[in-house]
Amino acid sequence: MLIQEIETYTVKIPLKKPFKTALRTVIEAESVYVKVTTDNGINGYGEAPPTHVITGDSLHSIDYAINQIYKPLLIGKPIDQFEEIMQMIHQSMIRNTSVKAALDMAVYDCFAQQTGLPLYKLLGGYRDELETDYTVSVNDPSEMADDAQQYIKDGFNLLKIKVGKDEIAKDIERIKAIRKKVGDQPTIRLDANQGWSVKEAIYAIRKMEDLDLNIELVEQPVKYHDLKGLKQVTEHSETLIMADEAVFTSIDARRVLEMGAADLINIKLMKAGGIHEALKINQLAEAFGVPCMVGSMIETKLGISAAAHFAASQPNITRFDFDAPLMLKEDLINGGVTYKRNHIYFSKDTGLGIHSIQQHSSEREEQYHE
């Protein structure tokens, strides 16, 4: 089974509500879809969103890398020479992790289809369903409390609250307002997106502990490069601390784990460069006794399907942040994972289970770029 063609297609889908963090505001989901076709007619799909403030990738850089760098290298390669293909993907360019992730998931999709298994079964098959959280964007406390209450009414039990913007006192007011609105039962986890200093993080977390706001974990409270600061926050907090932007590669994960800088690691395919590297990160974390979450950027159901298949396959992955497709006004994917409120289910279809991709209503004139 040889790789016969690689094509790309750009999509843009409006969000139902602006997505706001300490790093950015998103009103429209943009992605490059990639389709890998083999000589026996199998199509494998992948996705690469441009998340400039985290990965540095843009729509144009993604498209160029796939079509001008990787396509000439990969055309004609046998899918069953899997490790050689993965080596080419990861060694032919530095960084460009979203590009690598899109190609990685498309190759995995083809390979799993060839074996006749759903991808999560091929990778380990630990779970058959997942429970996702839902993210509350950073806004004024009253708006965030109203949003949180609505998501609970919609059937979500886990809330991921964005903080790290404005002064610490306002972040604390945000969480107090949300707790007052939703009560004590829903699980609340915070994501500061690198928005706090070390002292601010320790103060804020201790203050919320004193107020008994019952925070499950705090994600990436300080700058991604400040591992000593991250370790300091972890050591001075009873609340669990999760590394996110601090961990792109297995080398990053090893540093965090050896330092004891975090209690948890958030793995994202777009940071890791795909499933191949994500498996290494999870295995390292498991060896250190550190559980992982799998999250995402603002992605469509295509990228999330790949991330969900990876997450479901491994017992050390205990938390799931896959709400991005639910934030979009349109679903272009026929097939893939299925959402029923806060739960995600897998079909018996092979690979990622992607049947076809619809063209976006405002971009009918665009076709796959060959």
Task: Could you list the residues known to form a binding site, using ranges.
Answer: 24, 135, 160, 191, 219, 244, 296, 298, 321, 323
Choosing from 20, 268, 271, 301, the catalytic residue is 268
Q: How far is CA 319 from CA 130, 159, 163, 192, 254, in A?
A: 9, 12, 19, 17, 20
Dihedral sign computed on CA atoms, order 171, 176, 181, 182: positive
Q: Is 35 a catalytic residue?
A: no
The answer to whether 150 and 339 have CB atoms below 8 angstroms apart is no
Choosing from 162, 181, 231, 301, the catalytic residue is 162
Cα–Cα distance, 36 to 264 (Å, whole number): 34
- 227 HSE (CA, 13 A, CB side): 13
Angle (deg, nearest 10), helices 275-287 and 301-313: 30
DSSP string, 276-342: HHHHHHHHHHHHTT--EEEE-SS--HHHHHHHHHHHHH-TTEEEE---GGGGBS---EEES-EEETT
The answer to whether 294 and 133 have CB atoms below 8 angstroms apart is no
The answer to whether 69 and 220 have CB atoms below 8 angstroms apart is no
Look at the block and give the residue holding tokens 């990053």.
252
Residue 351 per-residue DSSP state: B
Cα–Cα distance, 266 to 84 (Å, whole number): 27
Phi and psi at 291, nearest 5°, equal -70, 160
Q: Is 223 a catalytic residue?
A: no
Binding residues for substrate: 24, 135, 160, 296, 298, 321, 323
Q: Is 20 helix (H, G, I), strand (E, B) or coil?
A: strand
Binding residues for Mg(2+): 191, 219, 244
The separation between the first and the last C-alpha atoms of the chain, rounded to the nearest angstrom, is 20
Cα 268 to chain centroid, rounded: 4
HEC string for 81-143: CHHHHHHHHHHCCCCCHHHHHHHHHHHHHHHHHHHCCEHHHHHCCCCCEEECCEEECCCCHHH
Residues identified as active-site:
162, 268
